[in-house]
């Protein structure tokens, strides 16, 4: 997709996120909205996937390590035809395929069940290593939350990715600066994150995570042999909805009917 086409997809995804979370009366809009451009670019322009054959063994893989941002994941899967938007009315309902965290046994296009923060990156590393050992050219992508990077297991996974020279792995960090309890700096500062990522052996690309052209350039950059790629994407929590932007309180809270209508109206513009 070109930039204009992808921008339209992103706008619809944001509307879908608001609709899902509002319908359920619960969910995580803030971090879903902040990663829209990132996940849309990966799925629409870079992954080798087929909604008609979602379990093809030669497909690329994706792991949403920040599993609470499932509404954003479901929105891109609907945009590509893996699931129907009719499922949105059942989001977070008992027996629905669209649970509050993604379930790979129920949702076509979901490669790993996630939600316990810190674990998804290790799953992605395992997938990338497995592809290498099988001689497959599959690529693996994972999106992490910046607050999630406070988990020690994340850094163990980074160390393994470098040790095993996983140049088929792309780690994307949704760096919106906020988590459920406040700012990252207040809760547990990550310090000089770019320097740490470089020290862990990544081919590092630091970008504006809402700039589709910058995302495309980072994802399309030539592979550096033997080095996993990391895209440190600076984003805005709640992006696109004025009253949610840069507000930690919207990490895991659903808009009421009035707030939903205001958000959808803003996203029409």
**What residue segments make up the domains of the chain, in order of their start?**
3-266
Q: Which residues contact 89 (CB under 8 A, 6 or more apart)?
A: 23
Query: Is the pLDDT confidence value at 193 over 90?
Result: yes
Query: Is the pLDDT confidence value at 208 over 90?
Result: yes
Query: Is the pLDDT confidence value at 14 over 70?
Result: yes
Q: Global pTM? A: 0.98
What backbone phi and psi angles, to 5 degrees, belong to 144? -110, 155
Q: What does the alpha-carbon distance between residue 64 and residue 104 come to, in Å, rounded to a whole number?
A: 11
Residue 269: predicted pLDDT: 66
Output the CATH code of domain 3-266: 3.40.50.970
Split at pLDDT 50, 70, 90, the class of 160 is very high
pLDDT in tens, 81-129: 999 999 999 999 999 999 999 999 999 999 999 999 999 999 999 999 9
Q: What does the alpha-carbon distance between residue 192 and residue 195 come to, in Å, rounded to a whole number?
A: 6
Q: What does the alpha-carbon distance between residue 139 and residue 124 come to, in Å, rounded to a whole number?
A: 10
């Amino acid at each position: 997709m070109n930039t204009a086409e992808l921008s339209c997809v992103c706008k619809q995804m944001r509307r879908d996120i608001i609709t899902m979370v509002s319908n359920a009366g619960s969910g995580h809009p803030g971090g879903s909205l902040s990663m829209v451009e990132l996940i849309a670019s990966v799925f629409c322009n870079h992954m080798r996937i087929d909604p008609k054959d979602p379990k093809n063994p030669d497909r690329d893989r994706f792991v949403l390590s920040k599993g609470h941002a499932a509404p954003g994941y479901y929105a891109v899967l609907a945009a590509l035809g893996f699931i129907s938007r009719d499922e949105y009315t059942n989001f977070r309902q008992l027996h629905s395929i669209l649970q509050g965290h993604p379930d790979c046994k129920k949702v076509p296009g979901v490669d790993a069940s996630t939600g316990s923060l810190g674990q998804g990156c290790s799953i992605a590393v395992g997938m990338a290593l497995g592809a290498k050992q099988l001689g497959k050219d599959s690529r693996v992508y994972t999106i992490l939350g910046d607050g999630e990077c406070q988990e020690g297991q994340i850094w163990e996974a980074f160390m393994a990715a470098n040790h095993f020279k996983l140049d088929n792995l792309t780690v994307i960090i949704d760096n919106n600066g906020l988590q459920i309890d406040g700012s990252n700096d207040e809760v547990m500062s990550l310090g000089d994150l770019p320097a740490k990522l470089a020290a862990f052996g990544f081919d590092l690309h630091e970008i504006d995570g809402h700039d589709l052209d910058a995302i495309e350039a980072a994802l399309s950059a030539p592979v550096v042999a033997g080095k996993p790629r990391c895209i440190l994407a600076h984003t805005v929590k709640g992006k696109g909805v004025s009253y949610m932007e840069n507000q930690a309180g919207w990490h895991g809270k659903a808009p009421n009917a009035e707030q939903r209508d205001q958000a959808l109206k803003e996203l029409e513009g």
